[in-house]
Structure 1
């Protein structure tokens, strides 16, 4: 699922659509769910539309606090079969529609997108509101339930692609992303202007702002980004309530820019000489290799290390003979950082 970490936080044991049993989930001692029903169990949805399904929860909540009279509930669904990018679904905040908070009925919609093509099972209920999590709080663990199964036929699902210009973004330079939203089935745009949101970093996972945009009728959004947007994650989200219909995140490709220098210009043969260096950008926890020149043209690795979070590293040179010995540091491709080489430097063996 794209765009909201709530599923990862609350359904951590669901991986790629795998199931979760009642014994594996924590039961909220204050919430007792009697039943969950849906006003329909077969849904057809196409394109960028959503279809509302009304969910009704009969439940008891053990409380005497006056503020809990406004309690809302959230219903969780998991995929049990089918294909599509959405592995879980989440209802809107369901208000109480009858009874008391101690013994009442909560009812409201879940918005079904085409990207939820497949069969889903209602498996849990918790109390909200959803915004509690979105704005820095944490929702309680859902109480497991044996709820209804929804069969969803999603067609003409959206496909999102992105082209970055230039393909490798230099440090200190701005860049452009051309986003495209098309019909995955036909390969063509939907023919109308589609509303989307461009986000950066936590805007890609939370309700933390962003830039609201409309595509052209050809499904395109062309946006110029400043250099400061090159290091964090960038994204496009097609939003719904509460979870997104679809989205795409990307980290722009960066060059491998490596610098290195020995702590000493000369050392007795066999002595270890620390070589300190840096990989430009936040390229933490990537490998680096100190290479020494053998013969006229053959470079061989003689020491390895891992960059620290800052991008800095230390490798060890050990002069093997008397005379001027050429070294360099090789940075293999790591994540979005391309391979790079430092300038050649020399250590004189004594």
Structure 2
């Protein structure tokens, strides 16, 4: 959409978008019991790219005598109950046991609160760590716990914008994306390099994208291989263990369409199969057999869809006597822009 917060916690458009709901697993871990969850602060003020630390203490137990569970960590989850910041969930770092036994102990560690959590958050559950996502192998749901509220006063929240070059990427061609991090309140950069993560496909939902830095203006221009265009692109400003702000989308793609009629002349009204292919194989996207009407108007005669191979067959026909121009149009579909084949002639007799 890590997963860190990208897939589990952020409200992120997925080409608009994925993400924004809490992770969903089968059921709470039957071995985990929670006696209490304490936060060291009930309100914090955070600005810009900074985070404010809240100390978290969990008392409870993990009912296991397996030596491998001795180092079990816990995560505390909070959900938004008011306000309109970018984040809808926040989660603590992996809390380590600092007292007692794994069956009856105390776990402590920080919760890092960013400015994008502006609003009121409430503890709603605890889960075993390390923090991750369904894709990282967590088999259980969060154990419910109704806990404290914390008021977050966030300002100058970071905003991510991007520009793809070219704006519509031809299938089979490389491209670039210029990402930018700015202050949403002023529209200006934060005045220094920003640690960010940029990735494609699975890394957007498993483990987080590789981290790097923008320039002093908050800008990072990244080159992408042609093969990347088929997958989700993500960008984030990370903290531990989730993202302060993140965005994800699919680039707009321009397919090539080829089409060849089975015959170049036929009786008027006779079906003439038109076979062709669409680069990038936009499966189940619609293609239309069209005739040229007048100087520039195209009228749809029949339609079909693209097969998983990228090929299609659409029923063409000679709609009138004489040599007329036809084409096949791929409708705009998913992240593919509309595209058409070269025109071809079928003579009606």
Q: What TM-score do the two structures reach when normalised by structure 1?
A: 0.85
Match of 1:272 in 2: 271
Bigger Cα displacement from structure 2, 58-67 vs 177-186: 58-67
How many positions carry a matched residue from both structures?
339
Question: Whole-Å Cα distance in 2 between the matches of residues 173 and 325 of structure 1?
Answer: 34
Question: Does the aligned pair in 1 maintain the 2:78–2:124 contact within 8 Å?
Answer: yes
- Displacement of 1:191 after TM fit? 0.9
Distance change >3 Å, CA 111–CA 139, structure 1 → 2: farther
Deviations 1:9-58 (A, max 9, x none): xxxxxx997899xxx98333222222212111111111111111122222
* Separation of aligned partners in 2, 1:190 and 1:227: 32
Counterpart Cα distance in 2 of 1:123 and 1:25: 17
Matched, 1:85 2:86: yes
CA distance 1:124–1:308, shift in 2 (3 Å): farther
The answer to whether the 8 Å contact 2:136/2:206 transfers is: no
Q: CA offsets per residue over residues 41-93 of structure 1, 9 Å max, x none?
A: 11111111111112222223222222222111111111111112211111111
Summarize the Cα distance change of 1:67–1:199 in structure 2 as closer, same or farther, 3 Å threshold.
Answer: same
Give 1:270 deviation, angstroms: 4.5
Which deviates further from its counterpart, 285-294 or 154-163? 285-294
Counterpart-to-counterpart distance in 1, 2:72 and 2:172: 49
Preserved CA contact (<8 Å) 2:120 2:150: yes
3-state secondary structure, aligned to 2:80:
strand
**Offset of 1:320 from its aligned partner?**
4.5
Judged with a 3 Å threshold, the aligned counterparts in structure 2 of structure 1 residues 218 and 322 are, in CA distance, closer, same or farther, namely: closer
Tell me if structure 2 keeps the 8 A contact 1:204–1:237. Answer: no
Partner of 2:300: 301
What is the DSSP-based 3-state SS (H/G/I as helix, E as strand, rest coil) of the residue aligned with 2:188?
coil
Residues 256, 139 of structure 1: alpha-carbon distance in 2 compared, 3 angstrom cutoff:
same
C-alpha distance 4-248 of structure 1, shift in aligned 2 (>3 A): closer
Contact 2:330 2:338 in 1 (8 A): yes
Which residue number in structure 1 is paired with residue 13 of structure 2?
none
- The answer to whether the 8 A contact 2:197-2:209 is kept is no
Q: Is 2:84 the partner of 1:98?
A: no
44-53 or 159-168, which deviates more: 159-168
Moved more, 167-176 or 54-63: 167-176
Query: Contact 2:8 / 2:21 at 8 angstroms: preserved in 1?
Result: no
> For the structure 1 residues 278 and 65, does the alpha-carbon distance in structure 2 shift closer, same or farther, using more than 3 Å as the test?
same
Secondary structure of 2:253's counterpart equals coil
1:51 and 2:52 matched:
yes
* 2-structure distance, mates of 1:281, 1:64: 53
Deviating runs (4+, > 6 A) in structure 1? 15-20
My pick for the range that moved more, 335-344 or 169-178, is 169-178
Unaligned runs of 5+ in 2: 11-17
CA contact (8 A) 1:76 1:89 kept: yes
Q: Indicate conservation of the 8 Å contact 1:171/1:227, yes or no.
A: yes
Contiguous gaps of at least 5 residues in structure 1: 9-14
